[in-house]
Amino acid sequence: MGWLITKYLITATIVAAASEIAKKSDKLGALIVALPLVTILTMIWLHVEKQPIEKIANHAWYTFWYVVPTLPMFLLFPTLLQKFSFWFSLIICAVITVIFFWLFALVVKTFGVDLLR
């Protein structure tokens, strides 16, 4: 149980620190959250918890494919935010991301990458 609490505290601290830095500097905050910190932490936790290398490798592989269809959201959100409320813009972006993901999954499946199973 101590390990689980430590893992949560380290992970939460990094996320909280990123949001605090973003309050002070838009660019530095964006750079920090653009880094794959959650993915790196997840791979570290999987390794420390003695998961097979295949599982860690698969995590990295699928993370790449799942990130690609989320990228348009970061271009759409600032534009939507100028026209709509924060929450409505976020909901629109979430719906668009799901649609993009589904379409992207259909396209990459033709190349042998199955994201929906």
What CA–CA distance (Å, rounded) separates 98 from 91? 11
pLDDT at 4 over 90: no
């690609």: which residue's tokens? 68
């698969």: which residue's tokens? 58
Residue-wise pLDDT for 52-99, tens only, equals: 999 999 999 999 999 999 999 999 999 999 999 999 999 999 999 999
Q: How far is CA 73 from the centre of its chain?
A: 12
Burial of 46 (0-12, 13-18, 19+ CB in 10 A): middle
Residue 3 binned pLDDT confidence (cut-offs 50, 70, 90): confident
Model pLDDT, residue 18: 87
Q: What is the mean pLDDT of the chain?
A: 92
DSSP SS3 for 54: helix
pLDDT at 15 over 90: no
Model pLDDT, residue 87: 97
